[in-house]
Amino acid sequence: MAKSTKPRSASAAPSTTKRAKAPILPTKRTRPSANDVRIVFLGGLGEIGRNCAAIEVEGRILLIDCGVMFPEPDMLGVDVIIPDFTWLLERKDKIDGILLTHGHEDHTGSIRYLAMHLDNLDVYGSALSLALARPRIEEARLLRHVTFHEVADNERRRVGPIDVEFIPTTHSVPSAYALALHTPQGVILHSGDFKIDLTPVDGRKTDLTRIGALAASEGIRLLLSDSTNAENPGFTESESSVGPVLRGVFSSHPNQRIIVSCFASHLHRMQQVIDAAVGSGRKVTTLGRSMQRNVELGIDLGLLDVPAGALVTLEAAEQLPPAKVCVLSTGSQGESLSAMTLLARGANRFLTLEPNDVIVLSAHPIPGNEHSVGQVIDDLHRRGVEVVHSGHAHVHVSGHARQGELALLMQISQPEFFIPVHGEFRHMVHHAELAERIGMLSSNVLLCEDGDVVTLSNTGLALSSTVPASYVYVDGNTVDVGGEVVKARRTLADEGFVVAACAVNLKTGKVIGYPTVTAHGWLKDDRTASLLEAGAEAVDKAVALALKEPDRSIASVDRAVKRALGKYVGEKTRRKPMVVPVVVEVH
């Protein structure tokens, strides 16, 4: 396979290249001279989240998804991480729109941040995808900057110079699409997040027939495919396999209140919970704003089938016996202010746990959330409730394809070239290796990372350049708080900080009074007091020397204080706290 760190072409391989026994045969068509197509990866390669890729044809740009990534625990104060839009904004008058593969936030959550810079942004997707994306844009008061275009299954829509087909796929949110982009360089197929579920809850299957027809009639020049589960052999189980397990939980706890937490966008899981609850004679209520909103949305769009009278308010549910109640709650990922986390802490103002309750966490922790979810489970057990989770019961299945399904998609689509997308780097490596095992030529498989630009031309596929693709941190209403801010917060959390205060007269070059040094985030003991006294002495000497310079200034004294105190504390404590100089000029 070719790696983006060493630019190389992925053109036709020499005849000496070895093939597997059952090769995927590249399309052998004579191509007329055509405009090159560029694919710019702005996020989602080498990470889970920030999914965003740009397709550039004839100078026009079409985005595939525009998502956020959620911060790691050490990214203190950061709410979300978004793609670097520098390259896009330099070409903002050339953007024809965004194509949404599905409605998850890691594919839609950055639309609002891009819309801030545009007069109008056209967004194309299913009714559900658009409805799930809309609230974040509305919260930012940017709806006037966005025009939504609803598309239907298998619809073909012209967007700028590209014909786009929206091909149905199955995923952990309904109405997901693979995208077939008809370009001057042939068909580019983007799988979106998908799995091949043969018995989906709603009966809407991944349309492999259409993908196969495209491969046979036009040929698929380039496949971009979801790599999330590429390390895992076999096939992902059907979402419908969770239903019997949920029904078993309800039937085995006939006299207890059952509270089920899952992703608020997972309408198929919610449908199975509702079916199990209603089948056991219970009423269903919701806990958490997004859960309530999405249940109502699912009903309005006809994606949730809830019998009349089965859905009640939380207030009405509290008047019923526990055996007659099922609560659908947010917070399956241990989010700090989510409904389930607050329940576990005894801090939810809408509902209080009782020792006889049964909690079902119908989701697997997203990588990075394991500690938070584990803490919630511990807190729930402290409250004496029974907890059922994916660690010991089949109450969750993934929405992403495993190796068997990934190989099947490749065999059906028979792409000439392949780039793994959506996943951490190891996932994409395994996906690339899978492609080679089933017969793709290694020279036709390209491993890319965020910021890579590849060109699809008459001569093949090659890495052509790179663009800015660094993390952009969002803190509250502040976009791009900067990596230095995050680094400073880590230092404060890990090392604490030391404040050195002194007053100087720049005209006379004298220190007024004696400096004071205080520490925060340190253990206080007798040694600390003597250390700070000695630190003040080091500051005093450094300031005196700085004031002897002819070009002395407050800034130069600040630098001298930071250097002297930082060096002294580092030598004595082997720590590197943040040093905050407070130098005041007096006359």
Domain final residue pick, 389, 411, 429:
389
Task: Examine the domain organization and report whether 308 and 182 are in the same domain.
Answer: no
Task: Examine the domain organization and report whether 257 and 311 are in the same domain.
Answer: yes
Query: And the tokens for 33?
Result: 């001279």
Degrees to nearest 5, angle at CA 439 with 435 and 442? 65
CA–CA separation, 499 and 476 (whole Å)? 27
Q: Is-contact 535 516, C-beta < 8 A?
A: no
CA distances from 414 to 3, 222, 441, 447 (A): 21, 9, 12, 18
Using a pLDDT cut of 70, give the percent of the chain over it.
89
CATH number at residue 563: 3.10.20.580
Task: Examine the domain organization and report whether 168 and 64 are in the same domain.
Answer: yes
Tracing tokens 């937490």 back to the chain, one arrives at: 261
pLDDT of amino acid 493: 64
Q: Residue 26: inside a domain, yes or no?
A: no
Q: Residue 481: inside a domain, yes or no?
A: no
Q: Residue 14: inside a domain, yes or no?
A: no
Task: Examine the domain organization and report whether 98 and 229 are in the same domain.
Answer: yes
Task: Examine the domain organization and report whether 114 and 186 are in the same domain.
Answer: yes
Q: Residue 331: inside a domain, yes or no?
A: yes
Task: Examine the domain organization and report whether 451 and 525 are in the same domain.
Answer: no
Q: Residue 20: inside a domain, yes or no?
A: no
Task: Examine the domain organization and report whether 282 and 226 are in the same domain.
Answer: no
CB count in 10 Å sphere of residue 138: 12
CA–CA separation, 355 and 383 (whole Å)? 6
CATH number at residue 372: 3.40.50.10710
pLDDT of amino acid 529: 80
Task: Examine the domain organization and report whether 452 and 338 are in the same domain.
Answer: no
Q: Which helix (H) or strand (E) holds 88?
A: helix 86-89
Task: Examine the domain organization and report whether 413 and 509 are in the same domain.
Answer: no
Closest listed residue to residue 353, CA positions, set 364, 335, 365, 339: 339
Q: Which helix (H) or strand (E) holds 123?
A: strand 121-125
Domain count across the chain: 3
Query: And the tokens for 147?
Result: 């025009």
- Describe the crossing of helices 403-413 and 208-217 by its angle, rounded to 10 degrees: 40
Q: Residue 445: inside a domain, yes or no?
A: yes
CA–CA separation, 78 and 474 (whole Å)? 6
Domain final residue pick, 341, 368, 389:
389
Q: Note down the domain range covering 468.
A: 36-235+398-475
pLDDT of amino acid 586: 86
Pairing mode of beta strands 80-82, 472-475: antiparallel
Q: Residue 29: inside a domain, yes or no?
A: no
pLDDT tens for the chain, residues 1 to 587: 765 443 333 443 333 333 233 333 344 443 444 689 999 999 999 999 999 999 999 999 999 999 998 766 566 566 788 999 999 999 999 999 999 999 999 999 999 999 999 999 999 999 999 999 999 999 999 999 999 999 999 999 999 999 999 999 999 999 999 999 999 999 999 999 999 999 999 999 999 999 999 999 999 999 999 999 999 999 999 999 999 999 999 999 999 999 999 999 999 999 999 999 999 999 999 999 999 999 999 999 999 999 999 999 999 999 999 999 999 999 998 888 899 999 999 999 999 999 999 999 999 887 777 888 999 999 999 999 999 999 889 999 999 999 999 999 999 999 999 999 999 999 999 999 999 999 999 999 999 999 999 999 999 999 999 999 988 888 766 566 556 666 666 666 667 788 899 999 888 888 888 899 888 876 666 677 888 888 898 999 998 999 988 888 999 999 999 999 888 888 887 778 888 899 898 87
Q: Residue 298: inside a domain, yes or no?
A: yes
pLDDT of amino acid 31: 46
Task: Examine the domain organization and report whether 209 and 252 are in the same domain.
Answer: no
Task: Examine the domain organization and report whether 65 and 192 are in the same domain.
Answer: yes
Domain final residue pick, 389, 419, 442:
389
CATH number at residue 78: 3.60.15.10
Task: Examine the domain organization and report whether 295 and 199 are in the same domain.
Answer: no
